[in-house]
Amino acid sequence: MKRLWGSLLLRVAAILVLGLGILQLAILLAVIWPDGRPATFRLVNPTDVREIAETLEAAPPDLRERIARAASVGGTTVELLSDVPAEAVGPGAMRDAPRLNARFREFASELKGRELLVQVRHGRGIPGADAPAGPMRVLVRLHTGEVVAIERAPLLLRQIASRYNIIAGAAAMVIAALLLVLWLQIIRPISRLAGDARSLRYDGRDQDLPLTGGPELRDLTTALNAMKRRIAGLVEERTAMLAAIAHDLRTYLTRLRLRAEFIEDQGQRERAQTDVSEMAALIEDILLFAKTESQPAATICVIDAREELLTLVDLHKETGAAVTCEVPTHPLPCRCNPLAFRRIVGNLIDNAIKYGKTAQVSLQSRGARVAVRVIDSGPGVPDEMIESLPRPFVRVEGSRGRHSGGAGLGLAIVKALAESHGGSLSLRNRPGGGFEAVVTLPAAG
């Protein structure tokens, strides 16, 4: 019982019961609320009635209908009838009110001898009427023998204050309040928990998610925290294992490199040395990728991205690579470890040269971000492979040989390094040909 109190089940049940209770109350009010039509309304001014009657009497017969319609403005309805209508029955029908006729003697005195008849509306208003009807109307017999019926609609405030509008407004307010409570008590905590879970990196840097909300949400948060710690432990174990394997493999690679020196055939010796060097580079890439994913980023400091990029491009030009660079004339500080920045940009330039022969590098500021863009002039990659390119060991060319481009860790390392510094990597084929890679990093200052 103690666990049920404050639980998600109890909250949802309480909201449903409260909502159903309000709905039942609204239905009861609509059914049993008496038909209390307002006691006062806008009575037609007798002077206006006389002027309307005189105008209609003076007008040609074929224009009287149009004049009556033209006088129906401002909530006043003027209708020209051939005679006094017979009494009708049913809701909304008009009936004679002899008692009111006696009370309207002063009203009749303004009509200069014209016959006056007062009718009241029977029962409730006419359902589905185009406009709300008044509770009373005045009929005046003209000297021409015709009858003009004049009626005023209820005041707008009275219309708004009708019981149906009050019930509908109250129900809408209650429903809005219930939705707000539902959002505050259930939806918002779940959304916050989902956002916190998406931000986890499982690398040991994350704090445990805060325990908030009802018992079910607390249990879910506790389970997520436990899962996070297990995943972080597995990642750390994987990194430690890879580091140990890499250390042992370096020893054997050193021996192989020394033994390769004793191969008499020069061609075979050079090929063996190349294989050993590629194996060593592959091991270093795997170890770097594992460390980047499992360990916090190295000391993040403020660097001048412009200066670092120019230095890196010059180094590639010295090797004969076809690299061009476009940078702003002023320093462009960003938050990144210098070694990580060089590895990120270096990998992108190397990929552009390997697959596109040339690399066009540019640097620009994008608000709170600094963007490094590298474009090649190659054929690009199939569109269906772009999303999977930053994954480890994914390559457009299926082999893993370094002579054909590498093992498929370059972009994975770039993405991992960028994200560890709060940045991102985006890839796309250019409409005019070539491939484009853009890395964004947090700007400084």
d(CA 259, CA 98) in angstroms, rounded, equals 128
| 324-333 pLDDT tens trace | 999 998 999 9
Highest mean pLDDT among 16-30, 107-121, 374-388: 374-388
DSSP state letter for 384: G
Identify whether residues 14 and 59 lie together within a single domain. no
Q: What is the CATH number of the domain that holds 306?
A: 3.30.565.10
DSSP state letter for 44: P
**Considering only 118-132, 231-245, 316-330, 383-397, which range has the smallest mean pLDDT?**
118-132
| Within a domain: 145 | yes
d(CA 127, CA 123) in angstroms, rounded, equals 11
Interstrand relation of 302-304 and 76-81 (parallel, antiparallel or unpaired)? unpaired
Mean pLDDT of 200-221: 74
> What is this structure's pTM?
0.50
Considering only residues 219 and 127, tell me which one the structure prediction assigns the higher pLDDT: 219
Q: Which of 395, 344, 355, 392 is nearest to 377 (CA)?
A: 355
CA-to-CA separations, 234 to 238, 284, 349, 411, in angstroms, rounded: 6, 21, 33, 23
Specify whether the CB–CB gap between 235 and 293 falls below 8 A. yes
**pLDDT confidence of residue 332:** 92
Looking at the predicted structure, is the pLDDT value of residue 161 above 60?
A: no
d(CA 439, CA 372) in angstroms, rounded, equals 5
| 38-54 pLDDT tens trace | 444 456 778 888 888 88
Looking at the predicted structure, is the pLDDT value of residue 359 above 90?
A: yes
CA-to-CA separations, 20 to 12, 99, 167, 170, 174, in angstroms, rounded: 12, 47, 15, 14, 11
Specify whether the CB–CB gap between 80 and 181 falls below 8 A. no
| Within a domain: 65 | yes
Considering only residues 12 and 70, tell me which one the structure prediction assigns the higher pLDDT: 70
Identify whether residues 287 and 309 lie together within a single domain. no
Identify whether residues 239 and 374 lie together within a single domain. no
Identify whether residues 316 and 417 lie together within a single domain. yes
Identify whether residues 130 and 178 lie together within a single domain. no
Q: What is the CATH number of the domain that holds 270?
A: 1.10.287.130
Using 50, 70 and 90 to split pLDDT, how confident is the model at 429? very high
| Unique residue bearing structure tokens 């307002």 | 38
**Considering only 82-91, 93-102, 179-188, 417-426, which range has the smallest mean pLDDT?**
93-102
Residue-range definition of the domain harbouring residue 243: 233-293
Identify whether residues 375 and 404 lie together within a single domain. yes
| Unique residue bearing structure tokens 């709170």 | 368
Identify whether residues 284 and 304 lie together within a single domain. no
| Within a domain: 93 | yes
**Considering only 170-174, 176-180, 294-298, which range has the smallest mean pLDDT?**
294-298
Specify whether the CB–CB gap between 290 and 240 falls below 8 A. no
CB atoms within 10 A of CB 241: 11
Identify whether residues 50 and 142 lie together within a single domain. yes
Q: Which of 370, 296, 307 is nearest to 338 (CA)?
A: 307
| Unique residue bearing structure tokens 């190295």 | 298
Using 50, 70 and 90 to split pLDDT, how confident is the model at 134? low
Which residues make beta-bridge pairs with 365? 370
Identify whether residues 254 and 336 lie together within a single domain. no
Identify whether residues 383 and 304 lie together within a single domain. yes
Number of domains in the chain: 4
Using 50, 70 and 90 to split pLDDT, how confident is the model at 30? low
Identify whether residues 316 and 187 lie together within a single domain. no
| Angle made by CA atoms 333, 334, 338, in degrees to the nearest 5 | 105
